[in-house]
Amino acid sequence: MLRPSLRANDFLVAESAAMRVVLAAIETFADGGAPVLVTGEHGTGRELVARVLHQRGPRGRHTFLAVSPSFEDIPHRPDDDDCARVRRALHAAKGGTLVVKDLSDLSRASQHTLARALRDGDDVQVIGGADLDIDHAVTAEIVTRELFDRFAARRIVVPPLRDRLEDLPALFERWVKHYATEIGRPKPTVSTRAHERLRAYPWPGNAGELKSIARRLVVRVTGKIEASDVDEILPIVAERVPLEDLAFEDMVKSKLAKLLDQLDGYPVEDLYAMVVARVERPLFELVLARTGGNQIKAAALLGINRSTLRKKLTAGADRSPAARDRRASSRR
């Protein structure tokens, strides 16, 4: 997230073709009128785009308010329900811009209240943030069609950093300059090879990760940032190999052989269910961790639907040692 004291335009770098498309969309939608949907991966700068939309439009001198889907980060009474918090947020941003950071995480009651406010034309421009699975969230009825239709006509897709590498040098230099100024140091220069190292990295955390790397380098380095400095703090990324070359089956056979050795002499009649249960649960946990807890993305990656994933997660939790201990305790 960009702090309010910073000028958003300074960090909207659009030297790549992908970001020039974003810039054109901003110019089109910066009229302060109908709702706008800003989608993209985590860390791509959705709130930055929203702030630039606000600043370039007729509401730029008025309130800019970015809130979480729970709306709990605005002043409210303890007894306020979801609908009351939505109304308070709309009132707080009246005349300006309200950014809801992730539409997919809004409660159903909040969605209905927000959709009604948009239909009635309250004096506030609403910008909704969402990841790229927002359409699937509508299909899965996590986001109501009523709310989605209010945003669908005006949509900006912020590309991941790996698809806009032409922007990386200028963006990195701007963050280096910013953090150097913050700590009262001269801005370090950045070597060509350091830039090459940065371009070779896949940036799973997008521009947000680049910002963090820039801050760490400014703290650690004075004078000139070299390739070796970048190598010291960039995460090590395993070299990708074709999927068919992964020796997964060999690894599974080895683990199963050890399991069978351990079970030798024990009366076992449900080996298949035992193996599936032991493999399935950690697989789900790893995939959910990879998708940041997003069950829609996890289900898509697993090749199952979300309801099936939920059922399996619930069943797995019921079979866990902790659950068995609770049942045994209750029987006692």
Percent of the chain with pLDDT over 70: 88
Residue 237 has what pLDDT? 63
Higher pLDDT, 168 or 249: 168
Average pLDDT estimate for 203-231: 95
How high is the pLDDT of residue 1? 47
- Range in 44-53, 180-189, 288-297 the model is least confident about: 288-297
Domains and CATH numbers, the chain: 8-159 (3.40.50.300), 165-233 (1.10.8.60), 243-331 (1.10.10.60)
Q: How far apart are CA 178 and CA 241, in angstroms?
A: 38
Question: What distance in Å separates the CA atoms of residue 163 and residue 160, rounded to the nearest whole number?
Answer: 6
Beta strands in 28-92 (DSSP E): 36-39, 64-67
Lowest mean pLDDT among 29-38, 135-144, 276-285: 276-285
What average pLDDT does this structure show over 271-287? 84
Is 234 buried (19+), middle (13-18) or exposed (0-12) by CB count in 10 A?
middle
172 Cβ partners below 8 Å, 6+ apart?
190, 195, 198, 210, 213, 214
Average confidence (pLDDT) over 156-175: 96
Lowest-pLDDT range, 29-43, 139-153, 276-290?
276-290
Q: Bigger pLDDT: 38 or 299?
A: 38
Give the least confident one: 16-25, 68-77, 178-187: 68-77
> Other C-beta atoms within 10 Å of 188: how many?
21
Distances (CA, A) of 171 to 24, 42, 278: 19, 17, 45
Give the pLDDT confidence score for residue 278 in this predicted structure.
79
More confident residue, 303 or 332: 303
pLDDT band at 316 (very low <50, low <70, confident <90, very high): low
**Calpha distance 284→304 (Å, rounded):** 11
Strand order in the sheet with 36-39: 64-67, 97-100, 125-130, 36-39, 155-157
Reply yes or no on whether the pLDDT at 328 is more than 70: no
The pair of three-digit structure tokens given for residue 35, joined into one six-digit string: 């709702």
Tell me the average pLDDT across 243-265: 70
What is the distance between the alpha carbons of residues 82 and 39, in angstroms, rounded to a whole number? 24
Q: For residue 327, what pLDDT is reported?
A: 46
Mean pLDDT of 13-39: 96
